[in-house]
Structure 1
Amino acid sequence: MENFIKGSWSKPNSGRYAEVLNPCTGAVVDTFACSDLTDVAQVMQVAQEAYRDWRKTPVAVRARLQHAAARLMREQADELAQILAQELGRPMVGCQTEISRSADLLDFYAEEGLRLKGEIPLHNLDGEKALIVREPVGVVVAITPFNYPITLLTMKLGAALIAGCAVVSKPSEDTPLSTLRLAELFMQAGYPAGVFNVITGYGHEIGNALIDHPATAKIAFTGGTGTGKRIGALAAMHNKRVTLELGGQSPAIVCADANLAVAVPAIVRHAFANSGQFCYRVNRLYVHESIYDGFLEQMVALTANLRVGHPQSGADMGPMVNAKIYQNSEVQVADALSKGAVLKTGGQRLTGPDYDNGWFFPPTVLANTDHSMKIMTEETFGPVVGVMPFSTVEEAVQRANDSEYGLAGYVFSENLSTGLRVAESLEAGSVWINNIHRSYHDVPFGGYKQSGIGREKGRYGVEAYTELKTIYLNY
């Protein structure tokens, strides 16, 4: 496939294309354009020109178009889900859920945009007023990863477009096809050409050029912390705005009085969803020593029943997206075992006719872990969980906060006071008490410490794509 620029397909200046591989089979799904600096210059000029008119478009018109795009996503959900399943390997149910929730988020942002307001402070000065207004920040570069390519893009795209910004999207080279198809649907919904563009390519060169370009006003990035730091440094050289949603190493604390009938299924579901390939999954567990053995027994039994397979097989989990992501799980398991951890289930690559051509790693539980092990300190981005006992709640909180990350945390306790005190003490942008479910569209999402800068979702997400201006009026 080619780039999608100014409402139509655009061949890369280089004339080169790369392959998108199915992570289940290794088969070629399609190709994508290997763009160069000429393509960057073209797409940024197009976006800048489109922005000049789009920023003047009434918000009600922008909202109607965004609702129309959401409707088209629902109508084409099966096709989009099939594309996702082929390039990502995730089970079909999960792919369909991603499309529907992303459409819901677009609808929410559309309505939230209509609620944006300015202010007139009551200074009570004769013949004078101060007007506080919001204006779109400008052209936004959205750089997104492979794991939830549509959701993580719409978190940026829906907010930016309703605020009046134009968007240039650079998707992951592992999953560019779904983003390119989404751009087609937005054009079909009636968006002006050039308001939403997609450029693809390998390596840092294209991303750096998009960030450095004079037309870029803001960079919205989801991905690894190391890459996020590099993007932040480049943006800071020109004082460009950023929203960075970065890595996580999220802890869960299971207190002695936790309801295990709720806690165990919630943790297993969240730890192994999307084969563990998302940033705010449960990565490490701290379980009170009085219930440690019983908790492990229940967790291992539930985990061992999860099925791993191809998207159409009805499996609970699919493969890792590529060799690099897969190897991280292998490395962390080997590291933990070499330092005294106990393997309770999983831990070795799946083999056989259904698995040999893909990157399949089973859901894995490691017991008796500690903070000398990578599984408890580094982001895994795979279906591996470390479990460690604790004696006091204070100890568990200290361990949970002993991390450079601060994206999410989880606590299970039937004592509401304990749950709230732990939640207040955890250094994390989001904390769940006594269950784990998807984040809501109307509340902010983002992290403390090395897990990022800024927030997405809710009115906070829309406001992040605006600049405040004060107008002093004398009359």
Structure 2
Amino acid sequence: MEMFINGAWTASVTGATQPVTDPRSGAQFDTVPQGNAQDADLAIRSAAAAFELWRKTPMADRVRLQKKLAQAMRDAGQTIGTALHRELGRPLPACLQEVNRAADLLDIYAEEGLRLHAAMTSGGPGEKTVVTRDPVGVVVAITPFNYPLNLLMFKLGAALVAGCTVVAKPSADTPTSTLLLAELFHKAGLPKGVFNVVTGAGRAIGEALVNHPVPRKIAFTGGTTAGKAIAAAAVQTMKRVTLELGGQSAAIVCADADIDKAAEAIARHGFANSGQFCYRVNRIYVERPVYEAFLEKLLARVRQFTLAPAGGEGDLGPLVNEKIYANSAVQVDDARAKGARILCGGQRQTGPGFDGGFYYQPTLVADASHEMLVLTEETFGPVLGICPVDDPWQGLKFANDNRYGLAGFVFTRDLARGLTLCEGMEAGSVWLNDIQRSSHYEPFGGVKESGLGREKGRYGVESYLEYKTMYLSYEVPR
């Protein structure tokens, strides 16, 4: 495949390419361009030219087209979902679900666009003040591998309805689904240059996009180290940034909790997408009176998960590459060496259908402590660390004693205790007594080193708008 710039498939200026591989087998199935600064400039100039017309498109027309794009995604769901399945390795039903959720977010952002309005106040006879919100301009959207379509829509859906144009750079591991989406949207009526996709691995093209003088906003989802570098670079040209970064999210299970429900919710959430998402449960603090009982319930649930081999079916796919795999392997080995109990898993899955991919068994690390990486660093894999605590307040102290603050989870039958713990969690989102998907209507983002800004709902759209104040004077007829 090639890059998609100004409504057309485009090779890199140098002609260089990089492989795209199936993480289930390790086999190459496609190539994409290895873009550089010249390719980034071409895409940005295209987006800048398109912005002059797109920003003037009436909101009703942008909304109408965005809803058409959402339906086009659903109609092409099988094609796009299959591409995602191949590049990510996640079981196909979950990939199809991602396509539909991403389309839903396009619709929701479109509806929020219709609610935008200007404000007018009177300063006295012959004086009015009008406050409008204008699109920020060209946006650079940099997305990770784990939910490439949904996380792209966090940014693209809000930017488009706000009147911005976009240059997207998907992960080098999962570029094909984003490229297919760009072509689909163009065929559905999105004007050329409004949505461009460049590809490339390494820092070169990313730095070219971030440092380019034309874009006015960078929207990034990814690791905290990269996010800090983007923020530092963006300030040189005073670009706005939205950064959704790492997480090491904690769950607190109180002695009075429904431990069956807690175990089910934590297992379902903690191992979704093989643990490869930022706001998953990573560590669990359990009051001692129910600690062993909870471990038993959680272990029984986790043992039900199956791994999907290449060409086969199952609940969990492989990890996307060797680097991501290493996070789990290193953290489990570290915990084992420091005295933790490995209740299940703890090693690579091998055998027919597994040897070609980076499959790590679903793993529970009991008796974890804060000397272990599993309780202090993001895992991004199918591993949960569990630690006993004397009371929920000790659990809250441990939960907050971390540089991340993306999500938190509390389980207790005492509503007053639960609300107090939720309010005490230093996190952007907190769940009480169950774990649902984050709502497309509500703000999503983190505190501390988990990021800056919020996405989704009206909050997401507002982050792509600038306020403008106009002071009007006129002669009052007598």
Instruction: Please give the TM-score of this superposition, normalised by the length of structure 2.
Output: 0.98
Q: Deviations over 1:339-374 (max 9, x none)?
A: 111100000100101111110001100000011100
CA–CA distance in 2 between the matches of 1:261 and 1:387?
A: 16
Counterpart CA distance in 2 for 1:26 and 1:250 is 31
**How many angstroms apart in 2 are the aligned matches of 1:31 and 1:117?**
45
The alpha-carbon deviation at position 261 of structure 1 amounts to: 2.2
What per-residue deviation string (whole Å, max 9, x for no partner) do you get for residues 185-204 of structure 1? 11011011000000001111
Q: 1:22 Cα deviation (Å)?
A: 0.3
Distance in 2, matches of 1:44 and 1:351, equals 45
Runs of 4+ in 1 over 3 A off after TM superposition: 310-314
| Number of the residue aligned with 1:420 | 419
Query: Conserved in 2, the CA contact under 8 Å of 1:89 and 1:310?
Result: no
CA distance in structure 2 between the partners assigned to 1:310 and 1:32 by the alignment = 26
Question: In 1, distance between residues paired with 2:189 and 2:239?
Answer: 30
- Measure the CA separation in 2 of the matches of 1:105 and 1:326: 30
CA distance in 2, matches of 1:94, 1:265: 18
TM-score (norm 1): 0.99
2:289 aligns to what SS in structure 1? coil
For the residues of structure 2 that align with 1:160 and 1:216, how far apart are their CA atoms? 12
Count of residues in Structure 1 that have an aligned counterpart in Structure 2: 474
> Aligned partners of 1:34 and 1:374: how far apart in 2?
34
Secondary structure (helix, strand or coil) at the match of 1:318 reads: coil
Structure 2 CA distance for partners of 1:311 and 1:441, relative to 1, 3 Å: farther
Which residue is equivalent to 2:22? 22
Distance (Å, rounded) in 2 between the aligned partners of 1:349 and 1:304? 15
The residue aligned with 2:280 is: 281
Query: Whole-Å Cα distance in 2 between the matches of residues 67 and 34 of structure 1?
Result: 33
Alignment match, 1:58: 58
1:240 aligns with 2:247: no
How does 1:67-466 map onto structure 2 within 5 Å?
67-123=67-123, 125-310=124-309, 313-466=312-465
Compute the displacement of 1:312 (Å): 5.9
CA distance in 1, matches of 2:345, 2:122: 64
Letter in 2 for 1:69: L
Give distance in 2, aligned partners of 1:350 and 1:7: 43
CA distance in 2, matches of 1:399, 1:132: 45
Question: For 1:129 and 1:262, how far apart are their aligned partners in 2?
Answer: 57
Work out the CA distance in 2 between the residues paired with 1:140 and 1:454. Answer: 15
- Residues 460-475 of structure 1 correspond to what in structure 2 (within 5 A)? 460-475=459-474
- Provide the C-alpha distance between the structure 2 equivalents of 1:311 and 1:107, rounded to a whole number of angstroms: 34
Query: Is the contact between residue 36 and residue 208 of structure 2 (CA under 8 Å) also seen in structure 1?
Result: no
Deviations 1:422-462 (A, max 9, x none): 00000000000000010111100000000000000010000
User: What is the CA distance between 1:310 and its match in structure 2?
Assistant: 3.5
Find the aligned partners of 2:265 and 2:312 in 1 and give their Cα distance.
Answer: 23
Does 1:34 pair with 2:34? yes
State the alpha-carbon separation in 2 of the partners of residues 98 and 64 from structure 1: 22
Q: In the aligned structure 1, how far is the partner of 2:42 from the partner of 2:81?
A: 30
Partner residue, 2:10: 10
Q: Is the 8 A contact 2:7 2:192 kept in 1?
A: yes
Read off the aligned partner of 1:410 and give its amino acid letter: F
Asked if the contact 2:260/2:297 (under 8 Å) is kept, the reply is: no
The AA in structure 2 aligned to 1:316 is: D
Q: Deviations over 1:208-247 (max 9, x none)?
A: 1111111110000000000000000000111110000000
CA–CA distance in 2 between the matches of 1:287 and 1:313? 36
Please tell me the residue identity of whatever aligns with 2:66. Answer: Q
Equivalent pairs: percent with the same residue? 55
TM-superposed deviation, 1:298 = 0.8
Deviations 1:364-423 (A, max 9, x none): 000000111000000000000000011112111100001000000000011111110000
Provide the rounded CA distance (Å) in 2 between the counterparts of 1:304 and 1:54: 52
Asked if 1 retains the 8 angstrom alpha-carbon contact of 2:311 and 2:353, the reply is no
Q: Could you tell me which amino acid in structure 2 is paired with residue 21 of structure 1?
A: T
Paired residue secondary structure (2:238): coil
The answer to whether the 8 A contact 2:166-2:194 is kept is yes
AA partner of residue 107 (structure 1): D
More displaced stretch, 401-410 vs 256-265: 256-265
Per-residue displacement from partner, 1:65-103 (whole Å, max 9, x unpaired)? 111111011011111111011000001111011000000
Give, in whole Å, the separation in 2 of the partners of 1:230 and 1:157.
Answer: 22
Post-superposition CA distance 1:29-78 (Å, at most 9, x none): 21100112211121111110000110000011111111111101101111
Name structure 1 gaps, 5 residues minimum.
none
Question: Alignment partner of 1:252: what SS?
Answer: strand
Query: Matches of 2:308 and 2:108 in 1, distance apart?
Result: 34
Query: In angstroms, what is the RMSD of aligned CA positions?
Result: 0.9
* 8 Å contact kept, 1:336–1:373: yes
Q: CA deviation at 1:122?
A: 4.8
Distance 1:390 1:293, change over 3 A: same
CA–CA separation in structure 1 for the residues paired with 2:116 and 2:313: 43
Are the counterparts in 2 of residues 397 and 426 from structure 1 also a CA contact under 8 Å?
yes
